[in-house]
Chain A
Amino acid sequence: EIVLTQSPATLSLSPGERATLSCRASQNVNTYLAWYQQKPGQGPRLLIYDASTRATGVPARFSGSGSGTDFTLTINSLEPEDFAVYYCQQRSDWLTFGGGTKVEIK
């Protein structure tokens, strides 16, 4: 099973700052990686797929990069609605998720 390790567990930032989230895979997943955003009381929302493609309706301040085992989700200029938990997911070998990064208001 491919294990996805996300870091940091918690990121404390202010609105307007840039957030950089990391997802590391235990094996090569090529670019078969997605990022999701989850807010309290809601299911996750697909943000990025295939490592760098924004899903429909996702603002341009969200961007993804990486390939192989190291991936990054960047949120430029955090908006109040961006404070949430973010998960990565791989589909290279079955389907597994990372443990999540919580982006909280500093």
Chain B
Amino acid sequence: QLQLQESGPGLVKPSETLSLTCTVSGGSVSRGSYYWTWIRQPPGKRLEWIGYKYYSGASNYNSYLKSRVTISVDTSENQFSLKLTSVTAADTAVYYCARMRGYDWYFDVWGRGTPVTVSS
């Protein structure tokens, strides 16, 4: 059974880069037809899709975050990662990694989420 686990710092300073990793177990990030995705939920707000990456290269990002976001996939480590630059307090959220089905763009496997606070 595929499982996803987020990891990374829980506290990031303003203007710095937020870096998170999602470790995939019970399956391969190289499996076709699936996109590896990050989603976040700021306190009291709705879930927000950040972006996705296919293992062989294709990617797409939320237009509101596009200039600051990079998602990468490491097939040798069976992981994928999120980098969000120039963070502010508005980036404080619970960050989830998820697998998105490429054939219908629904999220069928999620991690438990990791809270990240942006504060000095």
Contacts and interface: CB of A to CB of B under 8 A. Distances in A.
Interface residues of A, number: 21
Interface in A31-55: 34, 36, 41-46, 49-50, 55
A34 B108 CA distance: 10
Contact of B110 (A44, A50, A98): A44
A96 B107 CA distance: 12
Interface string B35-77: 0000000000011110000000000001000000000000000
Contacts of A100: 46
Contact of A43 (B48, B62, B112): B112
Contact of A34 (B49, B62, B106): B106
A13 interface: no
A91 B108 CA distance: 14
Interface in A79-106: 87, 89, 91, 94-100
Q: Which 10 A-B pairs have the closest CB atoms?
A: A43-B110, A97-B47, A91-B105, A95-B49, A49-B106, A99-B46, A34-B106, A46-B108, A97-B46, A43-B96
Interface of A: 34, 36, 41-46, 49-50, 55, 87, 89, 91, 94-100
